[in-house]
């Protein structure tokens, strides 16, 4: 059975455009043009993934996302948020509410399809069942859980993928372009989405204890996951 995707956007021409592309790739498509109907269809149809615009009549995308992610039957449905705004604040707010990814308009259809595939692949749990352990960090790939000093961390699927990639090369710098290609399956120069996810992940890893597991920025190169010992002051 084809995987079902809900496209929720008040721009009907855009919905039709995205819908045609998804159908060509074998997906089943349902559509909504306002927030109320979007939320209804999420609960009624239980789609495999939602492409959700932020600015819609009756109920905005943020509220739709918040309600969907707090529903017992709908909380695990991946959501890609669309925004026409250039500010990263919209993306951060959407991710804070539980969205799994975001894209800025205008966007490449090929990139959108790649992100859809990546999220659906992760939802199926196609990754191996190995465990990554380094010091007080443990990543359970099978259960897709992260533990730091024995405490479970609440992180998004994309944050999990980024941390898993970095933990496999702890202490080594990974470029933004490589992260974009390996996690989202796309290339390109627009790596802002990587920066947003890394920023959120960095905050979640900061538990105020030493040694601190931190994501360091290598200017002009990328990011590096490492243990940061408390420095002595003399």
pLDDT tens digits, one per residue of 11-35: 999 999 999 999 999 999 999 999 9
Nearest to 45 by CA among 77, 90, 11, 83: 77
Answer whether residue 231 shows pLDDT above 80.
Answer: no
pTM of the model: 0.67
The angle formed by the CA atoms of residues 62, 66 and 70, to the nearest 5 degrees, is 170
Rounded to whole angstroms, what are the CA distances from 134 to 26, 189, 226?
Answer: 40, 32, 10
- Residue 132: pLDDT band with limits 50, 70, 90: confident
Equal fold, 4-124 vs 131-228? no
C-alpha–C-alpha distance, residues 54 and 57, integer Å: 10
pLDDT at res. 97: 85
**Structural domain boundaries in the chain:** 4-124, 131-228
Nearest to 158 by CA among 217, 101, 73, 84: 101
Q: Which residues pair with 8 in a beta bridge?
A: 32, 52
Provide the CATH topology of domain 4-124.
Rossmann fold (3.40.50)
C-alpha–C-alpha distance, residues 202 and 190, integer Å: 20
Number of neighbouring beta carbons within 10 Å of residue 32: 24
8 with 36: CB under 8 angstroms?
A: no
Pairing of strands 151-152, 173-174: unpaired
What is the architecture of the domain spanning 131-228?
A: Orthogonal Bundle (1.10)
Pairing of strands 28-32, 4-8: parallel
5 with 28: CB under 8 angstroms?
A: yes
Strand order from edge to edge, sheet including 131-134: 131-134, 137-140, 145-148, 151-152
Number of neighbouring beta carbons within 10 Å of residue 119: 22
Nearest to 133 by CA among 198, 213, 219: 213
Residue the block writes with tokens 């905050």: 203
What's the whole-number mean pLDDT along residues 169-177?
90
pLDDT tens track for 32-74: 999 999 999 999 999 999 999 999 999 999 999 999 999 989 9
């Amino acid at each position: 059975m084809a995987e079902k995707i809900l496209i929720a956007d008040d721009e009907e021409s855009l919905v039709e455009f995205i819908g045609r592309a998804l159908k060509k790739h074998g997906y089943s498509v349902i559509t909504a043009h306002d927030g109320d109907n979007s939320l209804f269809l999420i609960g009624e149809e239980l789609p495999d993934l939602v492409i959700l615009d932020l600015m819609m009549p009756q109920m905005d995308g943020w509220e739709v996302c918040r309600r969907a992610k707090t529903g017992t039957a709908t909380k695990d449905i991946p959501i890609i948020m669309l925004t026409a705004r250039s500010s990263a604040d919209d993306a951060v707010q959407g991710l804070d509410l539980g969205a799994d990814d975001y894209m800025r308009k205008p966007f490449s259809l090929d990139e959108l399809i790649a992100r859809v595939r990546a999220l659906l692949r992760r939802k199926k749990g196609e990754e191996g069942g190995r465990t990554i352990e380094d010091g007080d960090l443990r990543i359970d790939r099978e259960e897709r859980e992260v533990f730091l000093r024995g405490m479970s961390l609440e992180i998004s699927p994309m944050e999990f993928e980024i941390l898993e990639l970095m933990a496999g090369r702890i202490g080594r710098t990974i470029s933004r372009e490589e992260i974009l290609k390996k996690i989202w399956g796309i290339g390109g120069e627009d790596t802002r989405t990587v920066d947003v996810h890394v920023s959120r992940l960095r905050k979640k890893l900061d538990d105020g204890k030493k040694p601190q597991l931190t994501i360091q920025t290598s200017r002009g190169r990328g990011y590096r996951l490492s243990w940061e010992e408390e420095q002595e002051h003399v």
